[in-house]
Every structure is written in C-alpha cells, then in structure tokens.
Amino acid sequence: MPKITALFWDVGGVLLSNAWDRTQRQRALASFGLDEVEFDDRHEMLVSSFERGKIGLAEYLERTIFYRPRSFTPQQFEDCMFSLSQANAEALQIAQSLARSGKYLMATINNESTEINLYRIRTFGLRDIFDLFVSSCFVGLRKPEEGIYKLALEVTQRRPEECCFVDDRVLNLDAASRLGMHVIRMEKAEQLRQDLEKLGIGE
C-alpha cells in the first residue's frame, strides 16, 4: 500500500460540533421563538449560496430571519449561532499530534459559510493544525460534489492513494473513496485513532 502523506479532515462532526446543521438551527430558532417551518423554507433556498460563499452572513440572516421586524438584533442572533460551536477535545488532540509529527500534509475539506468558518478556525486554533483549508466558502464547491475532492488533490499535488479523508457522513466518504482516497468514518475519538493506526498513520 502506498504511504499516506496527506490527511484531509471534515471539521463539523469530527473535530468540532456541527456549525449550522439542523440541530444547531433548531436550538437557535427555539432560543428566539422562531417558526422552524417558515425558516426552513427560506434556509433551503439559500444554504447552497451561503456555504459556497456567494452570500455572506448578513444577507443570509436578512433573507431568512430579518425580512420583517424582530424583537432582537442580527448581532444577537449571530452571537447565538457562533456560541453553538463546541470542540471535540479528543479528536482535536489526535489531529494536533499528527500535525506536530510533521509527517503529513494536514488539510480540511469542509462545508461551511465564510463567517462561521473563519470564527471556528480562529476560536479553536485550527491554523495551528492545518496547512490548507479547502472550505466550500473559499472554493465555491460543496461536498459531496466530486469537484471539491479533485480540487484538494490538485492543489496539494497528491495522488488519491496517498491520502486519507476523515468525515462523519457516509455520502461524503463515498465521493472520496470513488476517487481512490482512503476514508475513515468518524464515530468516536478512540475508534478514529484505531482506524488511523490500521492505515499506518501515527505520530
């Protein structure tokens, strides 16, 4: 088996909690007493543009929440959105150790909007772990589109068989696997560590 030289990581659901998935949206909407069905109709029409960096957070909120007067401000809602991000400390420690080893190119392949992505990179020290962020908001592509994985390979000049991709969702892993990348489905930190070791990946 070719030696693995590059590790690609999803962020939400692996290293951190999800950023703005259904659970996080439900919590935020409940906090502000908003109607979920009404919001979801608007969210579904905008989420692709939002995560591809075509619209920013201010426009997204204007069109999903603040299209009519509210008893709270956009800043209050933004603060709530950001507060929903939490670290998976054990998984982060694994990634940090692998980064410190210097053996691997470390990069993300993740779907996130610009403001949330930058907040999470800054708040959780991800710049200290990763050499490259192939984030949907930066490259205009989203998982599980094949193009985002191809772009990651092209930019890093790695062959698929030299790469391992870690994600928590099967559909995202399938796309990477079809290109020839090794894949690991993240369920728990200890399971992740064991699956990495099976591929010869370690400090």
Q: Which residue has the tokens 């996130």?
A: 112
Q: With CA atoms as reference, report the closest residue to 73 among 42, 27, 32, 38.
A: 32
Please indicate, yes or no, whether residues 53 and 13 belong to a single structural domain of this protein: no
Cα separation of the two ends of the chain? 19
Q: Look at residues 35, 66, 83 and tell me which one is the last residue of a structural domain.
A: 83
Torsion over CA: 182, 186, 189, 195 (sign): negative
Please indicate, yes or no, whether residues 78 and 92 belong to a single structural domain of this protein: no
Q: With CA atoms as reference, report the closest residue to 25 among 34, 12, 13, 14.
A: 34
Please indicate, yes or no, whether residues 109 and 148 belong to a single structural domain of this protein: yes
Q: How many CA atoms lie within 13 A of 150 on its CB side?
A: 5
What pLDDT shows up at residue 145?
A: 97
Please indicate, yes or no, whether residues 168 and 72 belong to a single structural domain of this protein: no
Domain containing residue 118: 6-17+87-198
Please indicate, yes or no, whether residues 152 and 176 belong to a single structural domain of this protein: yes
The total number of structural domains in the chain stands at: 2
Q: 3-state secondary structure string, 21-86?
A: CHHHHHHHHHHCCCCHHHHHHHHHHHHHHHHCCCCCHHHHHHHHCCCCCCCCCHHHHHHHHHHCCC
Q: How many CA atoms lie within 13 A of 112 on its CB side?
A: 26
1 inside domain: no
What pLDDT shows up at residue 2?
A: 78
Q: With CA atoms as reference, report the closest residue to 87 among 98, 99, 96, 79.
A: 96
126 inside domain: yes
12 inside domain: yes
Please indicate, yes or no, whether residues 13 and 44 belong to a single structural domain of this protein: no
Please indicate, yes or no, whether residues 100 and 179 belong to a single structural domain of this protein: yes
155-177 confidence digits (pLDDT tens): 999 999 999 999 999 999 999 99
Please indicate, yes or no, whether residues 103 and 144 belong to a single structural domain of this protein: yes
CATH number at residue 53: 1.10.150.240
What b/e string do you get for 42-63 counting C-beta neighbours within 10 Å, with b at 16 or more?
ebeeebeebbbbebebeebbeb
41 inside domain: yes
What pLDDT shows up at residue 203?
A: 84
Please indicate, yes or no, whether residues 121 and 176 belong to a single structural domain of this protein: yes
Please indicate, yes or no, whether residues 43 and 73 belong to a single structural domain of this protein: yes
Over its length of 203 residues, how does the chain's per-residue pLDDT go in tens digits?
679 999 999 999 999 999 999 999 999 999 999 999 999 999 999 999 999 999 999 999 999 999 999 999 999 999 999 999 999 999 999 999 999 999 999 999 999 999 999 999 999 999 999 999 999 999 999 999 999 999 999 999 999 999 999 999 999 999 999 999 999 999 999 999 999 999 999 98
Q: Is residue 156 within 8 Å of residue 132, measured between CB atoms?
A: yes
**Global confidence as pTM:** 0.95
Q: Look at residues 83, 112, 132 and tell me which one is the last residue of a structural domain.
A: 83
CATH number at residue 189: 3.40.50.1000
Please indicate, yes or no, whether residues 64 and 148 belong to a single structural domain of this protein: no
Please indicate, yes or no, whether residues 135 and 67 belong to a single structural domain of this protein: no
203 inside domain: no
Residue 8 phi, psi dihedral angles, 5° rounding: -110, 135
Q: In the 8-state DSSP scheme, what is residue 94?
A: H
